[in-house]
Chains A and B, each alone.
Chain A
Amino acid sequence: MITALVPAFLAAGVALAMVPIALHFIARRPPDLRPLPTARFLTEDARTFLRVRRTPSDVRLLLVRIGFALLLGASFAGMTWTADRAGMGHVVLLDASVDALGDWNTSVALARAAVEEGPAASGAVLVAYGLDGPARVVRPEELETLERGERRATLEGGLRGLRAAIVSDTRFEDVAVTWVVRPTWAAWSAGLGPMRSELWPGRIDVRAVPSREAEAVGASDGAGVAVGSTAGGDTTSLGRALSALGGAGTWVFAESPSAEALAPLLDRARAGATVVLSGRLPATAATGGLPWIAGTAEPNGGRGGLALASGIRLGTALPAQTGEPAPGAKVLAVFEDATPAAVAHSLGDGCVAYLATGLHGPALTANPDYPALVESLGRGCVVFGDVDGPLDVGALRTLEGPSLEAEVNVASLAASQGVPLTRWLVLLALLFLLAEVALTRSGRPREATS
């Protein structure tokens, strides 16, 4: 099967071929050259030169020129030959790296279930990555004895392995993907959010292997949420978001706390709680373990929306507080102008996170990704401390790509893996060009001579 990486150039070649066709039809050409022994008795008739032919005078030259135009377009189109593909396939991507060792039985069970429940009637293919070698297709019965890798695998590596394995090891035309993985921040790569759709341009059904850390959080004392003093805004949305997260441990939220209210909150953080501050901080609270050095000026004007590390964007024209991250603080989110918007810093046994805008404003609470923001703030220090914590909701959504097509046409991906035809097409185009030059220089060889 021949595919084109840039089909627009093929169309351009066809359009270019129209040029010689038009020129050959509309060009005024002198009439045929014919012998006539009594030509000396003729008188010149200049009108003879004005006759326009209704048929192309030089079909051979015209065909050569059309061929050259088409070949030129095909040369730029990146034509490749790939093996024929057909049918719909279901690929189960399995993380077989050292990360999966502790929960390998769970991973295998999930993978087998995914293979059996797959949407494709034509069968499923299991692709394992994180091995010492490249990602490859494995049979389900191999899973028990599979020699897993000794290093951690990144999520980006998994997606790259998925793409390579599908292109080289399967013959499906369309593919749906299920991913059995323990999605942790440790496996997350910088820039994965923007690259996600480039690495795999389709939706992925992520079957998350339960995280031990998440289990620990879920098994906490259920202290629930303590919402501190607020400076306006609706805290109902915050409570709804935390409920959606399924309980988040001892997280304390406070919006624009006064100097007096801030001191006990910091004490709670030192005692092990996670304190999430937002809005305006008192100017006198520039030190004392806060992750943000507050400025003295009034809040800045709108700086656009927020962008989380997972690539999720929220809100528009948010009013930003002045200030800058304290030394050692981890930036959790930025405004659209790339200035820090949320930071986190450990304090004692706990953590203090700060959002440089109001957390309860409708610009954020109305956004469907609001829980992801809340979770990012609440887990800020966990990520900061490089603990093997699970991905937050936003990162998971980025990984899943719910807005992408469920089935991906593999032919277009495989085009870059096929046999490139460009050099041959260029060579052929050059031969046509030489033929065109030769025919043009030889004049009009088809004219009658007798």
Chain B
Amino acid sequence: MDSTNGTSELLPAEILERLGSLDLVARTIVRGFVSGAHRSPFLGSGEDFSRHRAYQQGDDVRRLDWKLYGRTDRLYVRLFQEDSNLQAFLVVDTSESMGFVGDGAVSKLRYSQFLAAALAHVMLRGGDAPGLASFGARTAYHVPPRNRSGHLHDLLLALERLTPGGTGSAAQALDEVGGALRRRGRIILLSDCLEEDGGQALLGAVGRLRARGDEVIVVRVASSLELGETDGGAARYFDPERPHEVTAAVLGSDAGFRQRVAAYYTTLQRGLEERGAEYVGLTTDQPLVSALGVWLMSRARREPVRS
């Protein structure tokens, strides 16, 4: 599968912003990522054979390839291309801090909207059933997970209506979304992951989802400025979600700032990976196609086989 087509890969977010509708944005991104007929990159229990794998204790004996056992005298199970119909939830952070633009062309929320639109497009084409939820001042369910014609339109419309505001807890949102899934599914969190408690509650929620078998992917969206990768100059800075706490600083000369931010996200990433969740760090100045392609292909390479 060719992941890129050369031009749309390089499209930055500000160009996508000019395209207008999210549908067009999603198609543009996916066109750059997918070429020709495509399948879901996720392997699972579909009807189309994919490959063999050595039998492991606990595998379903109904998937043993007895003919191959007859020829080789070794046990193999047959893996199939997953026809998916997996229930998934795109959980978008709409808290006040997601409205931050920084030195990028679009806000973190807008970037997340682009990314969610592209992911929804990909998942629908792969047979999955994506839904949409958001959390800011409160958790809101906008579109339930479905896979039918017109669903993408509903989902993009709901995405388009998201606006930043309030302060929310990702952990609470994940708990509520996990409870809404009727069976095991996939939850993709798009957030800046700046939690009040340093992310402990988030890790707890992720751990609970993983314990019941859900797949959890955390996409951290941040700007280069807030990561300390660019010089913001001297100012009195405040967290949009805590406007009364003002810190006078020179962003370029605070040497420890970048390390502290990096340490926060590294700790969070480590905690997520320890709980079996996937962490993807993106910045708003990254071309979306490139970011999406790299992430999806890397997932495809290390996708655990479902049986």
Q: Is B295 an interface residue (CB 8 A)?
A: no
Alpha-carbon distance A37/B257, docked complex (angstroms): 13
> What 0/1 pattern do residues 1 to 45 of A give for CB contact below 8 A with B?
000000000000000000000000000001111111111111111
- Contact status A44-B249, CB under 8 Å: yes
Alpha-carbon distance A33/B261, docked complex (angstroms): 21
Which of B94-102, B111-119, B275-283 is the interface stretch? B94-102
A residues less than 8 Å from B101 (CB atoms): 450
B residues less than 8 Å from A37 (CB atoms): 97, 100, 192, 194, 222, 226, 239-241
Given contacts A36-B232, A37-B192, A51-B234, contact A45 B239 (CB under 8 A): no
CB within 8 Å of B: which A85-119 residues: none
Q: Which residue of B lies closest to A34 (CB)?
A: B235
State how many angstroms separate the Cβ of B190 from the closest Cβ of chain A: 15
Q: Which residue of B lies closest to A51 (CB)?
A: B234
Q: Is B254 an interface residue (CB 8 A)?
A: yes
Q: Is B36 an interface residue (CB 8 A)?
A: no
- Among A35, A36, A46, chain B packs the most CB atoms within 10 A around the CB of A36
Q: Is A48 an interface residue (CB 8 A)?
A: yes
Alpha-carbon distance A33/B236, docked complex (angstroms): 5
- Contact status A38-B261, CB under 8 Å: yes
- Among A35, A38, A43, A51, chain B packs the most CB atoms within 10 A around the CB of A38
CB within 8 Å of B: which A36-89 residues: 36-49, 51
State how many angstroms separate the Cβ of A80 from the closest Cβ of chain B: 50
Q: Is B105 an interface residue (CB 8 A)?
A: no
Alpha-carbon distance A38/B100, docked complex (angstroms): 11
- Contact status B248-A30, CB under 8 Å: yes
Picked from B226, B241, B250, the residue with its CB within 8 Å of the CB of A48 is B250
Alpha-carbon distance A43/B255, docked complex (angstroms): 10
State how many angstroms separate the Cβ of A23 from the closest Cβ of chain B: 21
The A contact surface, by secondary structure, is loop
- Contact status B97-A33, CB under 8 Å: no
A residues less than 8 Å from B241 (CB atoms): 37
B residues less than 8 Å from A51 (CB atoms): 234
Picked from B99, B240, B246, B250, the residue with its CB within 8 Å of the CB of A45 is B250
Picked from A31, A43, A48, A49, the residue with its CB within 8 Å of the CB of B257 is A43
Q: What class of interface size applies to chain B in its complex with A?
A: 35 or more
State how many angstroms separate the Cβ of A355 from the closest Cβ of chain B: 88
Q: Which residue of B lies closest to A48 (CB)?
A: B248
- Contact status B248-A46, CB under 8 Å: yes
- Contact status B257-A34, CB under 8 Å: no
- Contact status B240-A35, CB under 8 Å: yes
Q: Is B72 an interface residue (CB 8 A)?
A: no
Given contacts A31-B235, A37-B97, A450-B101, contact A44 B248 (CB under 8 A): yes
Q: Is B266 an interface residue (CB 8 A)?
A: no
> What 0/1 pattern do residues 338 to 355 of A give for CB contact below 8 A with B?
000000000000000000
- Contact status A45-B254, CB under 8 Å: yes
- Contact status B238-A48, CB under 8 Å: no
Count of chain A residues near B, Cβ 8 A: 22
Q: Is B237 an interface residue (CB 8 A)?
A: yes
- Contact status B239-A31, CB under 8 Å: no
- Contact status B254-A42, CB under 8 Å: yes
Alpha-carbon distance A39/B238, docked complex (angstroms): 6
Given contacts A37-B194, A48-B248, contact A42 B236 (CB under 8 A): no
- Among A35, A37, A44, chain B packs the most CB atoms within 10 A around the CB of A37
Alpha-carbon distance A38/B263, docked complex (angstroms): 12
Alpha-carbon distance A39/B241, docked complex (angstroms): 10
Alpha-carbon distance A450/B102, docked complex (angstroms): 8
- Contact status A42-B249, CB under 8 Å: yes
- Contact status A38-B227, CB under 8 Å: yes
Alpha-carbon distance A47/B222, docked complex (angstroms): 28
- Contact status B226-A43, CB under 8 Å: no
Alpha-carbon distance A51/B232, docked complex (angstroms): 15
Picked from B100, B222, B253, the residue with its CB within 8 Å of the CB of A35 is B100
Picked from B227, B235, B256, B257, the residue with its CB within 8 Å of the CB of A32 is B235
B residues less than 8 Å from A40 (CB atoms): 194, 239, 242, 245
Given contacts A37-B192, A48-B249, A450-B100, contact A42 B257 (CB under 8 A): yes
CB within 8 Å of A: which B121-153 residues: none
Picked from B100, B226, B235, B247, the residue with its CB within 8 Å of the CB of A44 is B247
- Contact status A34-B253, CB under 8 Å: no
Picked from A31, A33, A36, the residue with its CB within 8 Å of the CB of B226 is A36
B residues less than 8 Å from A43 (CB atoms): 247, 249, 254, 256-257
- Among A34, A40, A45, A46, chain B packs the most CB atoms within 10 A around the CB of A40
Alpha-carbon distance A48/B233, docked complex (angstroms): 10
- Contact status A31-B227, CB under 8 Å: no
Alpha-carbon distance A450/B237, docked complex (angstroms): 11
B residues less than 8 Å from A42 (CB atoms): 237, 247, 249, 251, 254, 257
Given contacts A39-B239, A45-B248, 20 further A-B contacts (CB under 8 A): A31-B248, A32-B235, A33-B236, A34-B232, A36-B238, A37-B97, A37-B239, A37-B241, A38-B222, A38-B227, A39-B247, A40-B242, A43-B249, A44-B249, A45-B253, A45-B254, A47-B250, A48-B234, A48-B235, A48-B250
6 A-B pairs closest in CB distance: A37-B97, A48-B248, A36-B237, A41-B260, A39-B237, A38-B226
The interface of chain A, by Cβ under 8 A from chain B, is 30-49, 51, 450
| A-B CB contact pairs (8 Å), 25 listed | A31-B235, A33-B236, A34-B235, A34-B236, A35-B237, A36-B100, A36-B238, A36-B239, A37-B100, A37-B239, A38-B194, A38-B222, A38-B257, A39-B242, A42-B254, A44-B248, A44-B249, A45-B250, A45-B253, A45-B254, A48-B235, A48-B248, A51-B234, A450-B99, A450-B107
